[in-house]
Structure 1
Amino acid sequence: MALDRRTQDIALGTIEGLLAFGFGSGLAPKAPGTAGSVVALLPALLLVQVPLINALIFIAIAFLAGIWLCGRVGRRLGEHDHSGIVWDEFVGMWLVLVCIPFHWGWWLAGFALFRLFDILKPWPIGWLDRRIHGGLGVMLDDLLAAGYALAVLGVVAYVIGM
């Protein structure tokens, strides 16, 4: 992904750009969504330290703010879902990580499953992604990918007796 100067200025020169581009992680030349998901692990380390209800409230606020944030930055870039916009990956990763055990194996599985579902976009994720545009569309597919990842991890937890 070749980044022009205007994209870099929006991504790094405004607070909404800095957030939407995941503190610059969305500027990664390859796999910016994965780069954003990796960077999202750092604030997640703090987020898992608070009571679950507080973390979920924070994530809900981040999701709602992301609708505005991603929509605004997308309009400024002239692209509905620019690949460098990774706030949606942050929110999706946070949702997965606060709902699973704080253990490297669970976090690795959560990361891998979230990325898998975000990339493959199984039904209805892909269907909705093609039909809902703007900030809501950007945020919604990652919320659903997080839900799919949590569903798989829930089945695994059940099978192993957790």
Structure 2
Amino acid sequence: MAAGGPPSSSAVPRRASARLMWSHPAHLISLGFGSGLSPVAPGTAGTLWAWLAFAVLNPWLTPLAWGGVLAVGTLVGWWACTRTARALGTADPGAVVWDEVLAFWAVLWLVTPAGFSTQLAAFVLFRFFDAVKPGPVAWADGLFKSRSGQPPGWAQGFGILLDDAVAALCALLVLALARVLVG
């Protein structure tokens, strides 16, 4: 690394930390306001944070306002996730959980009003599709992976968001099918 310059593209991947999170607003956002720093299952911690944040914000936001939050959150998240991936030197850092936050907000936005049991089912299904990455989720996850030695760029930042959006769509599809079949 040059004195005072940015880290080189061949830098060894770094671990996310509270110090990194507070060093730039992009890191605060992409690390899910600290939920991504969980030492155990940061994606699940980020999804739980999203559920709590949705419960707090939902009484104040209309469905149209939620649509705006998701649209702006996607653009800001693309920037934030890209910046944090670059800072950490890896294309899809586990601590970056803004993708889980946005995707689960979208799920909750589309199933609301829903009771606790439906929201819990949505949570379990989303976490399953995000963690296991069956079929279309694995496809989306592999679309924008960087080659070895290539620094994360805008494509990888978009890829961070994409596979979780597909996992959200899969969870919503299963919920819709269950509703049709169960009545």
Tell me the TM-score normalized by structure 2: 0.80
Deviations 1:6-60 (A, max 9, x none): 7432223321111111111111111000011111112211443332232122112
The question of 1:63 aligning with 2:74 is answered yes
Alignment of 1:1-162 (within 5 A): 4=15, 7-49=17-59, 50-100=61-111, 101-133=113-145, 134-161=156-183
The structure in which a higher percent of residues are helix is: 1
Q: Which runs of 5+ in 1 are unaligned?
A: none
Letter in structure 2 aligned against 1:28: S
After TM superposition, what 4+ stretches of structure 1 lie above 4 angstroms from structure 2? Answer: none
- How much is the aligned-residue C-alpha RMSD, in angstroms? 1.7
Question: How many pairs align?
Answer: 158
Contact (CA 8 Å) 2:26, 2:79: kept in 1 or not?
no
Q: Which runs of 5+ in 2 are unaligned?
A: 1-13, 146-155
1:113 Cα deviation after fit: 0.4
Task: State the distance in 1 between where 2:52 and 2:22 align.
Answer: 19
Could you say which structure has the larger radius of gyration? 2
Q: Which moved more, 1:138-147 or 1:38-47?
A: 38-47
Tell me the TM-score normalized by structure 1: 0.90
Letter in structure 2 aligned against 1:59: L
